[in-house]
Amino acid sequence: MLVSPQVMQFWEDKAKTYGPGLAGALFGGAWWFWIDACSASGTKVPFVQYLPGFVATLALIMINAIRREELESHDPFDEGVFCRSRFWLFLSYVVSFASIVGSVAVLLSQYALKPGVENPWPGVAGLCQVTLILASALLFFVSRTPSSESNYGGYGAF
């Protein structure tokens, strides 16, 4: 086992309480990085450089549109819910990695490989933004609490 029992006990006790809030803070920090880079840049940032952040936000929504219970057990009579859930999760990870590749491509093509660029901060901030958004998506996915007594379709009220 790679994780100590104390860490596992802390995760089981506190993750459901503090995980969604921390995920929201990561998401807000990610967009703050990007807004700061756009406002601090001396030039106008083209719209193409905004796309990796939007795609990462779409991946966050896609990842969290799946209930974890659909991924845990396979029922042979579930009419394909297990396969559809796994395929949707795979597709959302593909979108996530596409946003990372897009932000690295923007960083390399617009800031790292161009001679005479005086401020590479928008490229670095774009990569930080995408990384933090995807970390937020995964943290929220593993820490959200399904609740059978809530009115939110099986998800806990946050």
For the chain, the first-to-last Cα distance in angstroms comes to: 31
pLDDT tens digits, 116-151: 877 888 999 999 999 999 999 999 998 876 655 444
DSSP-assigned letter for residue 130:
H
pLDDT tens digits, 54-65: 999 999 999 998
pLDDT attached to residue 21: 92
pLDDT attached to residue 150: 46
Task: Give the Cα separation of 81 and 121 in Å (integer).
Answer: 44
Residues in the chain: 158
- The CB-based long-range contact list for 148-157 (8 Å cut-off, 24+ gap) reads 154/67, 154/69, 155/67, 156/16
pLDDT tens digits, 23-51: 999 999 999 999 999 998 888 889 999 99
Percentage of residues in the chain with pLDDT exceeding 70? 85
pLDDT attached to residue 146: 60
Note whether 155 and 144 are within 8 A (CB).
yes
Average pLDDT over residues 66-76: 72
Model confidence, pTM: 0.82
Instruction: Cite the DSSP H helix spans in 48-120.
Output: 51-63, 69-72, 81-106
> Which residue would you say has higher pLDDT here, 66 or 23?
23
CB atoms within 10 A of CB 156: 14
pLDDT attached to residue 156: 45
pLDDT tens digits, 4-15: 888 888 877 888
Name the band, by pLDDT with cuts 50, 70 and 90, for residue 153: low
Per-domain boundaries in the chain: 20-143
